[in-house]
Structure 1
Amino acid sequence: MTALIPLLARNRSWALKQSQSDPGYFEQTAQPQQPHTLWIGCSDSRVPAEVLTGAHPGELFVHRNIANMVLDADDNFQSVLQYALEYLKVSNIVLCGHYGCGGVQAAVALPDMPLAEQDNALSRRIHQLRSALHPHIDDFHTGTGEEPERQNQLVEANVLTQFSHLIATAPVQQAWENGVSLHVYGCVYDLHSGHLKELVQQSAVEAVS
């Protein structure tokens, strides 16, 4: 309970301030959700979607995992994607990575880590990430730039790789085939500046052209 006590105290303080500044706040947020965007991000504690976008409750439907990965065999991810598109009718999907991603760094270092010899969920996930980034990891090792710059390039390569997986998923393809106005974006977040940078986007029009 030691760690929970301050969290509960801050929760009560936050709820009180919200009620005082906007008496109808919780009545409004208790209504059925109608988010405009599905946010697919990294689980990193420094990259909270609502905070860095200034979004209010009800705007973002959020899925986060290690290194913002998109996997066909990940029922958790696939169910979130299907629910967002078919039931919540979101019109945007943002896939967001971030510089300094520990998952991407682990994919590079995996052969020298004890994790490489383990048989567990984390090991399988990092092996899958390393496999997806294999050609880019080769470029990382042979590149001539400074290591931080090469790490940033690898993070961006991961966003582009996961983006390509995302737009090929059945729910996204089905939405576009049905004429849904769905816009998909790939972004990267800079921990040092707090800025989001768009790397790629695709819409229904581009998908069927």
Structure 2
Amino acid sequence: MASEVQRNNSTIKDIIQNNKEWVDDMLEKSPNYFANLAEGQSPKILWIGCSDSRMAVDVLTKTNPGDVFIHRNIANRIPSEDLSALSVIEYAVKHLKVEHIIVAGHTGCGGVKAAISNGSVGILDHWLRPIKDLYIANKAEIEALPESERADRLGELNVIQGVSTVSKLPVIHEAWKEGREVYIHGWMLQLHTGLLKDLDVSVVGLDQIKDVYKLQ
């Protein structure tokens, strides 16, 4: 037990040490880096992605602190009643004035795999139920694929649904009516290559939204 505690403490100490080394490196490159960072943020991008530890946004996109505003949860869901996600989107659009919103899923998503199975995963059963509904609605298309490709296709459909949900939000419509450029994109991270795949489902304005969703 003592050795296990020591090993766990070592992991935490490594993180602290890594942080110190990173700070030293940044200050060597730019002595005012953190002073400037503390002045505020002005990201152009809101990233809505999965909580999976392999989806390290700054590493994957070679961006720096302050470049991307990030919201993450299991299976990158965007429920229209989720106050956490809605608050992030509203803050990003109204106050940070982001120009791009990226809904990003990834291959091999554990949440999507759980949704497509019949096994229980506890409280996540409720969270993942809409993805099960998405699977049922697109069952013919998904079942026509090889079994190894089905979960990833469902993951893509989940991203596409997320783009649709964001595009219907009043805060997005308000920004478009003000003449602001807000682009909503759907991407998939392909873990086996490290590459981001654009699903080509971007929404860029009210002309792409059905009239029934347009609020006066």
TM-score when normalising by structure 1 = 0.89
Aligned to 1:164: 164
Partner of 1:34: 42
**Amino acid of the structure 1 residue aligned with 2:130:** Q
Q: CA deviation at 1:179?
A: 2.0
The alignment covers a number of residue pairs equal to 201
Once the two structures are TM-superposed, the CA of residue 130 in structure 1 deviates from its matched residue by 1.5
Q: Greater CA deviation, 33-42 or 124-133?
A: 124-133
> Match for residue 208 of structure 2?
207
5+ residue gaps, structure 2? 1-7, 211-216
1:1-209 aligned within 5 A: 2=9, 3-109=11-117, 111=118, 113-115=119-121, 118=122, 120=123, 122-137=124-139, 139-140=141-142, 142-143=143-144, 145-199=145-199, 200-204=201-205, 206-207=207-208
Deviation string, structure 1 residues 161-181 (Cα, Å, up to 9, x no partner): 111111112221222222221
Q: Quick one: which amino acid aligns to residue 157 of structure 2? A: A
Aligned partner letter, 2:188? V
Shift of 1:74: 0.8
How many Å apart are 1:70 and its aligned residue?
A: 0.8
Instruction: Provide the secondary structure at the position in 1 that maps to 2:114.
Output: helix
Does structure 2 retain, via aligned residues, the 8 Å contact 1:35–1:59? yes
Question: Aligned pair in 2 of structure 1 residues 207, 146: CA closer, same or farther (>3 Å)?
Answer: closer
Give the letter aligned to residue 62 of structure 1.
I
SS at match of 2:93: helix
Structure 1 Cα separation of the partners of residues 135 and 164 of structure 2: 12
- The unaligned stretches of length 5 or more in structure 1 are none
Aligned mates of 1:60, 1:26 — CA distance in 2 = 17
2:105 alignment partner, SS class: strand
Q: Is the 8 A contact 1:133 1:161 kept in 2?
A: no
The question of whether the paired residues in 1 share the 8 Å contact of 2:93 and 2:175 is answered with yes
Identity of counterpart residues, as a percentage?
33
